[in-house]
Structure 1
Amino acid sequence: MPPLRNSSANANSVPTANHVTTVGVKRTAFGNAGRHLPIFVNAFETTIPQNIIFHYDMIHPADKVLPARLNMDLIRALQARIAPDIFTPPGVYDGRKNFFNARRLPLGSEDCREFDVTLESADEAPKGKGPKVYKIRFNLVAQINPEVLRRYIDGKQSQDNAVLTAITALNVVIRMEPSQKYPFNVRSFFTDREKMDIGLGLELWRGYFQSVRPALGKMHIIIDTSTATMYKAGRLINLCLDFFKQKDAKMLAPSNGFPDRERLRLQRFIAGIRVITSTQDGRKIARVVKKLSSAGASALSFKLKEGGTMTVAQYFRNVLNRPLQYPDLICVEIGAGALIPLELCEVPPGQIMRKQVPPEKTKLVVEFATKKPQDRLRSIEAGLGVLAYGQSDYVRTFQMSIPRTKAMKIQARVLNPPTLKYGPGSKQATIVLEHVIPLNASAILQLHTNLLIRRDKKFSKPVEIPCWAIVVYERRQRFNEQAAAEMSEGLAASAQRVGIKMAPTSILVWENGQGDIASQLKAAGKQALDKYKQRPNLIVVVLPEGGNEIYTAVKHFGDITMGVATQCLKSSKCFRAKAQYFANVCLKINVKLGGINAIPDPNSVKALTDSQNPTIVMGADVIHPAPGSHGRPSFTALVASVDSDNAKYIAECGVQTSRQEIIEDLETMAKNTLTMYIGYRSNIEKKGTQMAPPKRIIFYRDGVSEGQFKQVLDQELVALKKACASLNINPKITFIVVGKRHHIRFFPTNPKDADDSGNCPAGTVVDREIGHPTDLDFYLQSHGGLLGTSRPAHYSVLHDESAFSPDAIQSLSFALCHVYARSTRSVSIPAPVYYADIVCSRAKNHYDPNGTVDFSDSATNIDSTQAETTLEAFRRGFKPLNDTQKKLMYFSVRIILLFLWPVAQ
C-alpha cells in the first residue's frame, strides 16, 4: 500500500520557494484530518525591526571567562557611566560574547576598541589599591539586515547563519531589560513576588520564560511560567543549619563531632555560591565559596608575613577587632585560599541553585510549578505586564512591538483515536479508549477496573505462568501470612480475568533486605525447581517503604544476571488491594513474560499495518547525568518493535561519554534490533524470506535540540543506514525527532471543549500558525490531562524516504501513543520513545549493587582526570542484559508521570 496522501493537498499546500533548503523535510502541505477546535496558545506576535542591526563581539582580552551576572554589571557601567557618549542609544548584551546595537558604534576606523571598566560596588580590590579594572574589547563582526527574517518566515529564505544571528539578536533585545532587574538564567528570569520556602536552605521563585521564535508568516514571542530553586538569602550559617534541619550552630563545629562526611555533603551543596563579606574599611565584597575547611576557625592556623602563626579566630579578634561568636565552627575557603568564618558571610538574594533538586523536595517543586490551564494562561498574560515590553527603551530602540496582550487564538484539530483490539473471549473485541474513559485525575484508579474487569477485556496475547514464587522483604508483623495469601489469590484471580493462565503458588518466603539479595532470589527459584521440577518464570517481590536499594538489587539479579522476570510490589499497595490494582499489575507482568496486552486495529492505523510494507518502529534516547554530577556517564537506549502489530518491543542499552548527545553505538544497536525483528517475523510469525525483513523504518529520536538536527542526520541516520547495509536490506527510513523540552502550551477557548482537567483533549494537533516556516513539524498533545497544564510533544520530520503525508505521520504518531503496554490510555509520546526513556533511566540496574561502581553523591565530587578514569570503570562494570530477558519487555515498569517543570530555564 502506498503512503497515505493528503486528500486536500492543493488546499493545504505551502508556498515555499524552490531554492529554499531545509535541515529536515521541507513542508509541502498541512494536515487536514480530525475535527476543528479553536484554542489559545502562549504565543504573542511581534514586529520585525526595519533597520540594520550591528553585531559586536565583546571580548575579555585576557581570555578570562567571567560570570554572566558580572558581565552584565560591567556592560551596564560601561554604557551608563564610563562611555555613555559612545553607547547612545544603549545596546543589548547576552551576558557572554554577543552585543547588538541599533546604530554603528564610533569605535574608530577598524570598528574595534578596548575599554577599561570598573564597578562602583562589590569589587575585589585589596585595600589601598583602588577598584579592580576589567578590560573589555568590542569588535564589529557583522551587520544584520532584518529583511532576512521576513523572507525566512515567508518561506523565501533558507535558514542560515544570518537568520540564526538575527533571531539571537531579537532574543537578546527582549531579555535585556528584565535581566538587569531580576535574577536570570539565559531565557528565564525570576522574581520574589511569589515564592515558597521548601527547607534545606532552599526556596522556589516563580518566573517567566521568553523566547523569540519564527513561525509561518509571523515572528512570535513565546511566554511561559517558569520556576527556579534559589538559595535562601541571609546569614550563611543559617542556610547551613537549614540544610541539616538543625537550629544549634554548634553542630557545625568539628570539635563537637561534626562528621567529615556531612561537611563534604554540605560542601557539595554550597560550592559555587556567592557570599558577601565586609572588609576592615567597611566595603562589601562578593566572593565565591570554593570549599569548606576541615577544622574550626580556632584550630586553623596560617603563617604571618612577619613570621609566626595565628589562628583564623585570633586574626579576626586581634587584628580586625571582630571577635567570633562561634570560633569553633568551620570556615569557607574563597579566592586564593582565604578563609572566612561562616558567621561573617551573607548570602545575597536571588541566587539560582544549578544543582539537582534534592529528591525529597521534588514533590514540593512539582506542586509549586503546577498550574491548571486557565490559571497558567492568566499568569502568562499577566507576565506581559511584568516584562513591560512597551516600557523598555531597548525594545523601542530596536523598533520591536507586541501589539496584542492576549494569547493568540488559533485553529487546532482533534484527531480520532485508534481502535484497539483485545484478545479472544473479550465481550467487546475492539474499543476506542478516549470514548469510554473519563479523563480526570481521580478516574486513573478506575481505568484498569473499567477496561479489564467490568468490560471483561482479555489480553490480545496472554501468557502462561505455570510456576512462580513470592519473596517478601517486609517484616512479618506488617505483612503476615494472611496478607501474603490474599495478595497471591487476588493477583491470580485478576490474571485469570484477563486471560493469563497463572497457577497457584506455595513458594512464599520472607527475607532480610540487608542480606544477599542474589542468593535469596536464587534460593526461592531453587525451592520452586525442587517442588515443581521447573524454574519459575516469575518472582513477585514485596518491598517495604523506602526499599529502593532492594528494588535495584532485585532488578539487577533478576533481569541482568538470572534472566527471571521480577515484579516488585510495595507492601502498602498490595495489602488488601482491590481488583483494579492487581489488574494494573497484570498489565506489566503479561508483557514482561512475552505477552501482548492490546494491538491497534489494522483498519485504524493503515500506515503502520500495511502487509506489503512491513514496518519496524524504533525509539532512541540518551539520558545525561544530573547538573553537578562529574564523572557520571551518559546512557543510551534503542527500543524497537518486533511484531507486525507494533505492540511488542525489545531494547538495547549502552553507556557512553558523559553528556554526549549523539549515540556512539547506534549502528551495532540497530543491527541487533533489526536481526531480532527479522528473526521474530521468520520464526514466530512464520513470514517468508521476502516479507520477514522490514520495508520501512520509522525512527523516533528523543531529546535532540534544534541546533543538533544536522549532526544527528549526518551521524545517526548514517549509522542506521550502515546497520541495514550490513544485513543486506534497504528499507525506507523516516526519521522523526520528538521534543518535550519546549514551552508551547495549548489552552481551550471554551470550557466545554476541555477535558475534566481543563486541558485540551487528547489528540489535539497544530501544524499551521506556530509551525516551522519551512520544515515539516507539528505539535501533538496525545494524552489526557492529569495535573496542571499538559505539554504537547513537538515532532520534527528530519528525513522521510516513504513520503508520508502530514496526516499519515500525525495519525501514526498518535496511534503509537496508545500502545504503551502499561497504560490503558494514550500517553504523551509514542510508546517506543517512552520505553527508550525508561530503559535509559534503568541503566544503573546493569551494575552490580555490590560492585565498585559508585552512584552516590560523593562520587560526583571529582576532577576531570578522575572523571575519565571513572568513565572507563562505568564502561567495564556495565553488564549486558541476560539473553532470556533480551526477548522480553523487561522495561515495562510502572508508568512514570514525567512532570518536566522548567526549573531555571
Structure 2
Amino acid sequence: MNFPCQRPKLQPTGTIPIVCNMLAIKSNPTVHSYLVTFTPELKRDLHTLFMKVASEPLKGVAFAFDGINQMVTNQKIPDTELKFLLGKEKEFVLKLVYKHSSNEEALSISMYETIIKHYQQMNFFAEGKRSFNKAEVASLSGGIELHGGLAQCIKSTNHGLFLNVDACFNVFIQERELVSLLNIMFSERESNERSGRGEVRLPDEQHPFWRDASLLLKNCQVQTLHTNFPKKFKLSGILNKPANQITFSKDGEEITVAKYFESTYGRLKYPEYPVAIVKKQGKESFFPIEVLKITENQKYTRKLNENQTAEMIKHAAKIPTDRFSFIAARVKDLKINENDTLKDFNLVIDSNFLECKGKILSAPEIIFGNEKRNAELNKGQVNIQRVRFFDPKGIKKFSIISLAKVDKQNLDNEIRSLSSFGRSYGVEIPTNYSYSCINSPSEYEAVLKKEQPDLALVVLPSKSSSIYNKVKAVAETYFGVITQCILSKNLNKLTKPPFAANILLKINAKIGGTNMAVNNKLINRPTMLIGADVSHPGIGDLESPSIVGIVSSYEKTLTKYNTYILTQEKKSEIIADLNNVIKKSLISFHKHNNIEPEKIIYFRDGVGDSQFYDVFATEYKAIKEACLSYKKGYTPEVNLIVVQKRHNLKFLLGSESSGLRGGLIDKMSKLKVSEGLKGGYQERRGGGYDRRDDRRGGGYERRDDNRGGYERRGGFDRRQGGDDNKGNVSPGTVVEEIGHPFYYDFYMVSHYALQGTARPIRYQVLVNESNFSNDDLQQFIHNMSYSY
C-alpha cells in the first residue's frame, strides 16, 4: 500500500479567522551545505572555535555554522582543510566537505534553519533551536531565575515554508557573587526573613546545606573576583572544610587557604566558610567562596520544587494575546527576521503572523444512565446536574487514611455529604468506614495490609509530589488498593456540589464504572480503539528501560479499556512486543462481544516526523500479523494515526476586520501584557486587543445549591470561534490549511485552556483503510475527547 496516506482534497475549511505563530519565508535563495569535522574530535564550544579558525579563510563568503557539523554558504567553494593549534601546541584539523545545494525543499529547511540559528549563536544565548536574551527575566525562589526566549523551526505547509516562532522558557542560576547566592538559598531553605534582620550567616561546614549546594553548583561556571583579569572555570563542588582549616603545600610549608589569600590578596571576610574546589588535569585548587561569582547563562538542571514550579507557571502560562505579544517582542529583540546574516544570504522572513481560517466541530451528544445531553458549546464542558452516571459502581469496603490532622466529627459530616451526592449519581459510598491517622510509611503499609479496602480516601497535608507519589506507588503497586487523594484543606468542599461531583467522577472511573458515553455515529460496526506511547528514562539515567503503555477498548461504547505496561530496551521508541499485546486485546474483545472488531483505530503518541515510516513498517505490520495469527484469514480494517503534542504551533482568535495585517510584529510587541483576566476583548484600531473588565462576555457562575453543576450565564457568539475571556479558540476548532503539503494531517483544539494558551494537537493519518471522510474522522476524534 502507499505510504503515507495522502491528504484528501481540501474542502472549504471554515470561516473562523485565526492568527498562527508562523512567519512566511518569502524568498528561496540557493545555498550550499558543507560537512564540518574537527580532527581530533573536540568537545567544547565549536561555534566560537569555528568562527575563530574559519572567519579569515572564508572572507568574502557569507557563511553560517550550526555549531555541530553543518556549514552553509551563499556560494559554492572548494573543499577546505584548515590546520590550527590549541593548548600546548596541539594541532587540529578543520575540514569542510561539500554535501549539496538547496535544490529541494526538504534539504533547504535544515540549511535555512542553520542560517537563522547562526546569528542567534553569535549574539545571544542559543541552545538547539531556542534563543534567549535578558529582556524577559523573572526571579524564582532559591537563587534561580526564569528567562523568556523564542523557539524557532521551519515548517513545510500547503502555502510554502514558514518560520514557526513560539515562546519558550528556561531556568538559570542567578548571575551574582557566590556568597550572595548561597545566602539566598540558605535563608529560603530555613524559611528566614532577611529583611530587617541583617545579613544571614551561612551554617558551619557540617550542615547538610553544603552537600546540597555542592550538588547544585557542580559543573557550574564561575569567575574570580580577586584577580585583575577574571579567570573562568567550572566548579567541581564545595568541600566541607573552611578556608581557615584546609591546607596545601607552598614553598615546602603547609599553609591554610585563608592565610594564603590574606598574604597575597588581603584578609578574607569569611574565613570560616567552606571552600570551592576545582579539579583540572588531575590537580585540585581551592577557592574561598567569597572570591567567586556565578557567570551568566548557567542553566539550572535540577528538578524544581513545588514553589518554584508554581512561580514558573505563573510567569510562563500566558493567554494568547499576551503570548503573541511576547513572541512579537522577542522576534524584534532577537532580530529573528531582520539581521545581517539574513541579508547576506538574501533570506527574507515576513514580519506578519500568518492568518488562516478554521472551523468548529459540533459538540457531541453525551449519554448518561438516564438521559442524553449535548455538551456545552464554548467551554467543552458537560452539565451533570441531575444525571445518573452511565454505569455507576459502588464501594463495599471503604477506608480513610489521613496523613494530616483532621477533625473526625467534621469528617463524618463531609463523608455523609459525599455519600449523599454519590447516591444521586448512582455511586454507592458507605458512611461506615475505617479511619486511620498515620505518621509514618510503615503505618501506611500496615493499614493497607490490614484493611484491604475497595477504595482508600487518602488525606494529604500538602501538594508535595514526593508524598503523593509514595502514597500511590505503595497502595497500587504493592497492595492493589485503589486510592483517591484529597488535600486536608479541601475536605470541607465535599459538602459543595461541584467539588463533590468532580471527586465522584474520579472515584467511579477508578472502581470500574463509566461516567458517560459519547454517541459516535462513525462507529457503526464493531471497532477497537488502541492507544500507545513509550516513555524513556531521564537524562543521566543509564540503566532504566523504556516503558511502553498500551490501552485497548473491549466494549462497544469505547469507554472500557485493557491496560498493558511493558518494558523494552532503553531509548527505543518503536514498540517491540506489540504483536502479543494485540492478540491479547483481540481475545478480550471477543470475550466481551462474541465477535472480532471489524475496524481497528490505532492512535500512536510520542513519535516524531522522522519515525513515521518506522512505525508504519514495524507497528502497523505487527498489528496485521497479530490479526492473522489470532485467526486465519482475519483482516480487519486497520487505521494508523499519530498524535503529536510536542510542537510549537499556537492559535490566537483573529478577526477579518481587526487590522492585523501590516507590521503586526511592531504593533503587537508594543501591547501591554495583562496581569489578570476578567472579561472579554475589545478591538483596537491599531491591531491587537484591549481588556474589558466587565463580564458581558459570558462565563460560568457556580451554584452552591444541592443540585450541583454549573449554570451558563451571559451571552456569547460562538460563531466567532472564541473563548469568553482569553483569546483562545473554542474547543472543537480544526485548522487544516497550514498542514503538510502532501501528508494527511490537521490541527485540533479539543480542550478548554484553564490557564495560558491552548495547545493544538496535530493528527497525522498514516493509514486509512476504513476510508473515513475527513469530516467524520475529525468529528470522531473530537467526540472521544469527551469520554470519561
Task: Please indicate the TM-score interval, normalised by the length of the shorter structure.
Answer: 0.7 to 0.9
> Among residues 131, 139, 143, which one is paired with 1:197 in the alignment?
139
In structure 2, the residue corresponding to 1:245 is in which secondary structure? helix
Structure-2 change in CA distance of 1:301 and 1:696 (3 Å): farther
Q: Which amino acid aligns with 1:408?
A: L
Q: Which amino acid aligns with 2:736?
A: D
Tell me, in whole angstroms, the C-alpha distance in 1 between the residues paired with 2:395 and 2:336: 65
Tell me, in whole angstroms, the C-alpha distance in 2 between the residues paired with 1:230 and 1:513: 36
| Structure 1 stretches lacking a partner, 5+ long | 1-20, 119-124, 150-162, 440-446, 526-535, 682-686, 822-905
Structure 1 residue 627: Cα displacement: 4.2
Q: Which residue of 2 aligns with 1:444?
A: none
> Among residues 3, 25, 29, which one is paired with 1:50 in the alignment?
29
In structure 2, the residue corresponding to 1:241 is in which secondary structure? helix
Structure 1 residue 592: Cα displacement: 1.6
Tell me, in whole angstroms, the C-alpha distance in 2 between the residues paired with 1:264 and 1:632: 26
Tell me, in whole angstroms, the C-alpha distance in 2 between the residues paired with 1:323 and 1:133: 40
> Larger deviation: 503-512 or 377-386?
503-512
Tell me, in whole angstroms, the C-alpha distance in 2 between the residues paired with 1:59 and 1:506: 70
Q: Which amino acid aligns with 1:63?
A: E
| Structure 2 stretches lacking a partner, 5+ long | 189-193, 656-680, 682-716
Tell me, in whole angstroms, the C-alpha distance in 1 between the residues paired with 2:119 and 2:479: 60
In structure 2, the residue corresponding to 1:405 is in which secondary structure? strand
Q: Which residue of 2 aligns with 1:698?
A: 601
Question: 1:311-350 to 2 correspondence within 5 Å?
Answer: 311-318=256-263, 320-321=264-265, 323-328=267-272, 329-336=274-281, 337-341=283-287, 342-350=289-297
Tell me which protein shows more helix as a share of its residues: 1
Q: Which residue of 1 aligns with 2:454?
A: 537
Tell me which protein shows more strand as a share of its residues: 2
Q: Which residue of 2 aligns with 1:646?
A: 558
Deviations for 1:747-774, whole angstroms, at most 9, x for unmatched residues? Answer: 1114562212321011111112x21121
Q: Which residue of 1 aligns with 2:549?
A: 637
In structure 2, the residue corresponding to 1:791 is in which secondary structure? coil
In structure 2, the residue corresponding to 1:733 is in which secondary structure? strand
Structure-2 change in CA distance of 1:308 and 1:727 (3 Å): farther
Structure 1 residue 171: Cα displacement: 0.5
Q: Which residue of 1 aligns with 2:410?
A: 483
Contact 2:535-2:546 within 8 A present in 1 as well: yes
In structure 2, the residue corresponding to 1:42 is in which secondary structure? strand
Tell me, in whole angstroms, the C-alpha distance in 1 between the residues paired with 2:75 and 2:243: 55
Question: 1:737-752 to 2 correspondence within 5 Å?
Answer: 737-750=642-655
In structure 2, the residue corresponding to 1:49 is in which secondary structure? coil
Structure-2 change in CA distance of 1:278 and 1:264 (3 Å): same
Q: Which residue of 1 aligns with 2:638?
A: 733
Matched, 1:569 2:486: yes
Q: Which residue of 2 aligns with 1:98?
A: 70
> Among residues 20, 26, 37, which one is paired with 1:59 in the alignment?
37
- What is the aligned residue count? 709
Q: Which amino acid aligns with 2:237?
A: K
Contact 1:297-1:331 within 8 A present in 2 as well: no
Q: Which amino acid aligns with 1:98?
A: Q
Q: Which residue of 2 aligns with 1:890?
A: none
Contact 1:275-1:288 within 8 A present in 2 as well: yes
Structure 1 residue 626: Cα displacement: 4.2
Question: 1:662-677 to 2 correspondence within 5 Å?
Answer: 662-677=574-589
Question: 1:725-804 to 2 correspondence within 5 Å?
Answer: 725-728=628-631, 729-750=634-655, 753=720, 754-756=722-724, 757-768=726-737, 770-804=738-772
Deviations for 1:139-161, whole angstroms, at most 9, x for unmatched residues? Answer: 223121x3312xxxxxxxxxxxx
Matched, 1:375 2:322: yes
In structure 2, the residue corresponding to 1:406 is in which secondary structure? strand
Structure 1 residue 315: Cα displacement: 4.4
Tell me, in whole angstroms, the C-alpha distance in 1 between the residues paired with 2:368 and 2:319: 35
Contact 1:621-1:637 within 8 A present in 2 as well: yes
Deviations for 1:435-474, whole angstroms, at most 9, x for unmatched residues? Answer: 3x757xxxxxxx68xx233xx1111111133443333333
Q: Which residue of 1 aligns with 2:308?
A: 361
Tell me, in whole angstroms, the C-alpha distance in 1 between the residues paired with 2:159 and 2:761: 22
Q: Which residue of 2 aligns with 1:599?
A: 517
Deviations for 1:842-896, whole angstroms, at most 9, x for unmatched residues? Answer: xxxxxxxxxxxxxxxxxxxxxxxxxxxxxxxxxxxxxxxxxxxxxxxxxxxxxxx
Structure 1 residue 696: Cα displacement: 2.0
> Larger deviation: 361-370 or 344-353?
344-353
Contact 2:463-2:487 within 8 A present in 1 as well: no
Tell me, in whole angstroms, the C-alpha distance in 2 between the residues paired with 1:548 and 1:377: 32
> Among residues 444, 449, 460, which one is paired with 1:517 in the alignment?
444
Contact 2:47-2:67 within 8 A present in 1 as well: yes
Contact 1:216-1:772 within 8 A present in 2 as well: yes
Structure-2 change in CA distance of 1:543 and 1:351 (3 Å): closer
In structure 2, the residue corresponding to 1:521 is in which secondary structure? helix
> Among residues 329, 332, 357, which one is paired with 1:411 in the alignment?
357
Structure-2 change in CA distance of 1:548 and 1:422 (3 Å): same
Tell me, in whole angstroms, the C-alpha distance in 2 between the residues paired with 1:22 and 1:195: 50
Question: 1:255-274 to 2 correspondence within 5 Å?
Answer: 257-259=206-208, 262-274=209-221
In structure 1, the residue corresponding to 2:325 is in which secondary structure? helix
Q: Which amino acid aligns with 2:458?
A: V
Q: Which residue of 2 aligns with 1:504?
A: 431
Structure 1 residue 742: Cα displacement: 0.9
Structure 1 residue 236: Cα displacement: 2.3
Q: Which amino acid aligns with 1:199?
A: S
Q: Which residue of 1 aligns with 2:123?
A: 181
Contact 1:36-1:414 within 8 A present in 2 as well: no
In structure 1, the residue corresponding to 2:43 is in which secondary structure? coil
Tell me, in whole angstroms, the C-alpha distance in 1 between the residues paired with 2:501 and 2:29: 63
Q: Which amino acid aligns with 1:739?
A: Q
Q: Which amino acid aligns with 2:641?
A: I
Deviations for 1:649-682, whole angstroms, at most 9, x for unmatched residues? Answer: 2322234444443334434444433433332x2x
Question: 1:454-465 to 2 correspondence within 5 Å?
Answer: 456-465=386-395
Tell me, in whole angstroms, the C-alpha distance in 2 between the residues paired with 1:800 and 1:271: 52
Structure-2 change in CA distance of 1:717 and 1:355 (3 Å): farther
Tell me, in whole angstroms, the C-alpha distance in 1 between the residues paired with 2:67 and 2:359: 41
In structure 2, the residue corresponding to 1:795 is in which secondary structure? strand
Tell me, in whole angstroms, the C-alpha distance in 2 between the residues paired with 1:653 and 1:701: 15
Question: 1:1-20 to 2 correspondence within 5 Å?
Answer: none
> Among residues 385, 388, 405, which one is paired with 2:332 in the alignment?
385
TM-score (norm 2): 0.83
> Among residues 560, 572, 585, which one is paired with 2:503 in the alignment?
585
Matched, 1:610 2:537: no
Contact 2:144-2:171 within 8 A present in 1 as well: yes
Structure-2 change in CA distance of 1:805 and 1:563 (3 Å): same
Tell me, in whole angstroms, the C-alpha distance in 2 between the residues paired with 1:346 and 1:438: 50
Question: 1:64-463 to 2 correspondence within 5 Å?
Answer: 64-66=42-44, 70-80=45-55, 83=56, 86-105=58-77, 111-116=79-84, 135-144=92-101, 146-149=102-105, 163=106, 165-245=107-187, 251=202, 253-254=204-205, 257-259=206-208, 262-277=209-224, 282-302=228-248, 309-318=254-263, 320-321=264-265, 323-328=267-272, 329-336=274-281, 337-341=283-287, 342-389=289-336, 391-402=338-349, 404-424=350-370, 429-435=371-377, 451-453=383-385, 456-463=386-393
Tell me, in whole angstroms, the C-alpha distance in 2 between the residues paired with 1:323 and 1:794: 63
Question: 1:831-850 to 2 correspondence within 5 Å?
Answer: none
RMSD value over aligned CA atoms?
2.8
TM-score (norm 1): 0.73
Structure-2 change in CA distance of 1:32 and 1:802 (3 Å): farther
Structure-2 change in CA distance of 1:251 and 1:213 (3 Å): same
Q: Which amino acid aligns with 1:810?
A: Q
In structure 2, the residue corresponding to 1:673 is in which secondary structure? helix
Tell me, in whole angstroms, the C-alpha distance in 2 between the residues paired with 1:195 and 1:63: 36
Contact 1:542-1:569 within 8 A present in 2 as well: yes
Tell me, in whole angstroms, the C-alpha distance in 2 between the residues paired with 1:89 and 1:170: 16
Structure 1 residue 782: Cα displacement: 0.8
Structure 1 residue 25: Cα displacement: 2.1
In structure 1, the residue corresponding to 2:215 is in which secondary structure? helix
Deviations for 1:329-384, whole angstroms, at most 9, x for unmatched residues? Answer: 13132423432422232222223334433343111111111212112222323333
Q: Which amino acid aligns with 2:329?
A: A
Contact 1:252-1:330 within 8 A present in 2 as well: no
- Identical residues among aligned pairs (%): 24
Tell me, in whole angstroms, the C-alpha distance in 1 between the residues paired with 2:460 and 2:552: 31
